[in-house]
Structure formats: structure tokens, C-alpha cells
Structure 1
């Protein structure tokens, strides 16, 4: 998963902004962070998905900050998918470390999240999908995946108060040797994903507190099937460059057409083209000048003919 961690610099700003903008009155609260999976028994080499989910009662939240650990000796973390997550504003993109056996992230829900809507069969309480691969085993082993105690949720109360939180770990039995029914749950999801990421908008901004007051673009989209893998940006006739929002523009004169490509885990993609207003005005000015020249030429010829007649 390709990343550029620019968002860490503005994490606290976004946290404050989220719970101020989307606050609601608070009441008694309780939440449970837990995991779900299709099975709890796997073999060597199997690739399986563990879904991180949340159940809440009596209140709404707008931020989830989580640190997750796993059994490093028997599991390898392959990926973290944000597909279909209730978190739409990622204050801190998932940071995966095989060395420390942890996954850390922080995300927000503008407007707040108040739990699964009654009758919702899709169980819309998904935070993210963790993809693991079973390492080589020498004996039957038990693998654990758990939320660390410093994980927390912030209430949608206008003050950013921390809510009471309970954790439920997940355990998996790992068997020696590969199964005849080899499992790769992640690859199965990727192969069935034929839908490109959702359309999105590209915005140009300029801020004295960012990039030395130079022009940059902001963009974001979602992919409900397998999740966004990475973004690329192209300015004018330049090359495609792996990028992340916010992205500092190379053409500070704003004379280049900007293209942003979003690619999901299944390699489906969508490209958005943006023409800066300054470039539009430049072409408009050229068009008006040409119109004036043509009008002057026509008028000149008409006068010339009148004189000849």
C-alpha cells in the first residue's frame, strides 16, 4: 500500500475541527470495538480477512482512534482496506508495521455515527478490514488479534469527550501444513471487484500555514468494494506521480491541466481532470483577442469595399 504521510502534521487540527463542527448533546454511552471473520481455523499460507467493527449504545461518535496488535510469530499483515468503512475522513491513514506487529489509524465521521440503523442487513458498523497471511508453522498455534488499551472513541458532543469503551479480541487456530482447500479470501474479493472508485472533485487551495503559501490540491474518494490503493497526479504533459492529498503543485502559475487518478486494490481506476481558473481565463482572454482581431478585420474590409464603391 503506497502512502505519503502528510496528514500526520495536521492530525490534531482535524480532530478538533471534527468534534466542533459535528457536535451533538451527549448522554450515557457505551461502545464495543470487536473483530469478525468468516472462519476461525486456518492453515499455513492461508490469506484471510479480519473485520474491525464497532457497536455503540445511547450516543453518537465522530472519531475512532485505534491501535491493533497481532501475533507476529505466526501472522503477517498484508494490507488494511478502508473499503465501505464508516470512517470517511482519515485523520491518520492506517500505519502498518510488521516489525512492531501493530496497525494504527484515526478517522472521523462528519455528522457523527449513531449505530446500525434498524433493518440494515449490511451491518454498517465496519471500521476496516485487516488482511493477514499465516506464516510457516512448526506446530498448531493460536493467533490473537486485539485492540490496544490506548484505543479510544470521541463523542459527537461538541467537546470531543472520550466515550466508555470495551474491547473484544479475536483468536484463530492455525494448523500446520497447507490445506487442500487453500484459502485466499482477499484475492477472492479482488477478483470480484469490477467497479471503479467513485467520482470525486479536485480543489485548488492556498494556505499561509501549509506549503509556504503555495498552491496545492485536495482530493479524496471511496471505493466500496476493495478500497483505494493509491492516487496519482499528472500536471500538463508531465508524468504520472504517486501522490496523496494534499498535493503541492509543481506548476505554481496554474497554467497546466491537472489530472488525478484513483486506483483501487483490484486496479480499477477513475481519472478526474481539472482545469485551473487561471488557465481558463488565459484561454478566454486569447479567444476575446482573436474575436476583436476578426471583428476589426471584417470591419476594415467592409469600409474598404464602401470606399471602392
Structure 2
């Protein structure tokens, strides 16, 4: 009876422990590799929520001075669908910073955040080749409750290396020899206004993912006529301050992946112009040309008549 009571008490204690006590983790996969690499090599930053549902993550990763050159980043296969700050490498600080949200939240043990790609190297072991210096995550509870996060490091070792998790490897697209003919995922740009963003002016939010080579960049074009101009594209980041604050323009947003595949989304104007307003410039040009041609014809005929007389 006493043994049963102890078991019941322990079970109850575990049951009522707050979920936040089970810390999520940000780690590397693989956690280590052999020191000498004849080809570019990589490690992927992984989020393990430990059963919690998280909807935001940010952090900083520091890179050893011995590896702080030629670094590239890829968000291929990332569980983050909206980057507040896409993973960015600062060579001067030897730091990678990132911040993103996951609408609807994410629960899982092997959520890809992004991948760090290093150039080939010959050299000795590096114990702390990459270290998660800080990481913050937040519960998907509608309150933005902070969740505890444990962190780890990535190392290069003289002998042996940790095996690569095949499930994670299959989700990555780091080999340029593999064809990527699939455009980024369909997305829904949102026109919005907020007193805390761009001084309350109208802006547009957009974000998508690419499950193969990853998103390279976004381009945007605003046009009141609805017609595209080849020289009118701008490479931008979200959120983007709209040039047409009257919201008369069609907005085209293009997501481009690292292999050059594109996904274009058209956003219709909130305050559309009438057809004659949209094409007033064309009409004026057309009328101007008509006047010029008519005048030229009249002058030509007048001269011919004078010659005949």
C-alpha cells in the first residue's frame, strides 16, 4: 500500500509539473564532424520543442575565429514560415542572428531552423566551432509566454564524427547538382497599417517557404494600370512601406528561390481607380498622337493644294 501511495504521489507530481519546465532545445545536427573537409560541409540548427507548442524563436550563434570566413546560410526546409530577421551572418562579430515566427505553432523534435554551410578546410579540431550564445522561444498560448530553452554547440574533431540524422538530411536541399524546378509555396501578402510600424503608414507583409533550395529574396512592383514594367521591380524585405499610400495600385510580389524559380502573387488595390483614371495617361498620349498625325495630314494636303494652284 505504501509503495502504491509513493507511486501515485510521484505520478501526480510529474503530471502537474508546468510544461514550461521541460525546456525546448536549440542544437546542431550533426553535432560534430571530422576536422578535415575536402568539400563544403554543413550543420543544421534544430529546434526540439520537448512537447510544447512554440510559435516564435530568436537567437544568436557565435562562430569560431578558425571558421569565420566564407560562411553561407540556407533556410531550406525551415519550420519558420515568417522571418522577422532572416538568418544573417555578421563576419565582423562572427555571429549569426535570427528571429522568426511560426503561425499556428510548431511541436516536434527535429524542426529545421536553418543550415550553416562552411567552405572546405584542412586543420585541427575545433571544440566550439559554433555555439548557440542565446536563444529565446515563446509558447503558442496567445500570451507570448517565454519558454525555457537549452542550447548546445557544434565541433570539429580529429577522429570520427557524429552520424547524420537521415530524416533531417532528407529535408535539406544543399546539393546544387540536384535539380530544383519547383517554385516557392503559394502565399498571401497582407496590406496593413499599424501605429507602431512606419509611423502608421500603409505597408505590406509577405512570407513564404521553399522546401528545396530555400528562399533567396523577394521583389515587388506597384502599378496603377496593372501592367508590369520590366525595369520597375525592387528587391525588398517584409514588411515593405508602400509607395502608393492612396492604395490605388496593383501590387505584385515575387518570391525567388536560390535556384531562380519564382512565385508571383498579385494583390488588387483597396481603392481601385475607374478605367479612365487608370488609362488617362495612355488616353492623353493617344490623343496627342492623333492631333499630331491629323495636323500633319492637314498641312500636307494644304501644301499639295497650293502646288496644284
Shorter chain as normaliser: what TM range?
0.5 to 0.7
Correspondence 1:254 to 2:252: no
What's the secondary structure of 2:134's corresponding residue? coil
Give the whole-Å Cα distance in 2 for the aligned partners of 1:189 and 1:39. 23
Correspondence 1:56 to 2:56: no
TM-score normalized by structure 1? Answer: 0.67
Partner of 2:156: 172
- Where does the alignment leave 5 or more consecutive residues of structure 2 unmatched? 1-17, 160-171, 224-228, 279-309
Correspondence 1:129 to 2:121: no
Relative to structure 1, the CA distance from residue 67 to residue 263 in structure 2 (aligned partners, 3 Å threshold; closer, same or farther) is same
What's the secondary structure of 1:200's corresponding residue? coil
Partner of 2:134: 150
Of 22, 33, 37, which residue of structure 2 is paired with 1:29?
A: 22
What's the secondary structure of 1:73's corresponding residue? helix
TM-score normalized by structure 2? Answer: 0.67
Q: How many aligned positions are there?
A: 244
What's the secondary structure of 2:274's corresponding residue? helix
Give the whole-Å Cα distance in 2 for the aligned partners of 1:36 and 1:148. 13
Partner of 2:93: 100
Give the whole-Å Cα distance in 1 for the aligned partners of 2:257 and 2:100. 19
Relative to structure 1, the CA distance from residue 26 to residue 111 in structure 2 (aligned partners, 3 Å threshold; closer, same or farther) is farther
Partner of 1:21: none
Relative to structure 1, the CA distance from residue 283 to residue 202 in structure 2 (aligned partners, 3 Å threshold; closer, same or farther) is farther
Structure showing greater Rg: 2
| Cα RMSD (Å) | 3.2
Partner of 2:7: none
Q: CA deviation at 1:158?
A: 4.7
After superposition, give the CA deviation of every residue in 1:1-36 in whole Å (9 maximum; x if it has no partner).
xxxxxxxxxxxxxxxxxxxxxxxx845412222111
What's the secondary structure of 2:85's corresponding residue? strand
Of 184, 187, 197, which residue of structure 2 is paired with 1:210?
A: 197
Structure 1 residue runs of 4 or more that deviate by more than 6 Å after TM superposition: none
Relative to structure 1, the CA distance from residue 153 to residue 187 in structure 2 (aligned partners, 3 Å threshold; closer, same or farther) is closer
Relative to structure 1, the CA distance from residue 217 to residue 35 in structure 2 (aligned partners, 3 Å threshold; closer, same or farther) is same
Relative to structure 1, the CA distance from residue 54 to residue 169 in structure 2 (aligned partners, 3 Å threshold; closer, same or farther) is same
Give the whole-Å Cα distance in 2 for the aligned partners of 1:159 and 1:208. 21
Give the whole-Å Cα distance in 2 for the aligned partners of 1:246 and 1:191. 32
Q: CA deviation at 1:38?
A: 9.9
- Where does the alignment leave 5 or more consecutive residues of structure 1 unmatched? 1-24, 117-122, 176-184, 287-309
Partner of 2:274: 282
Give the whole-Å Cα distance in 2 for the aligned partners of 1:166 and 1:245. 30
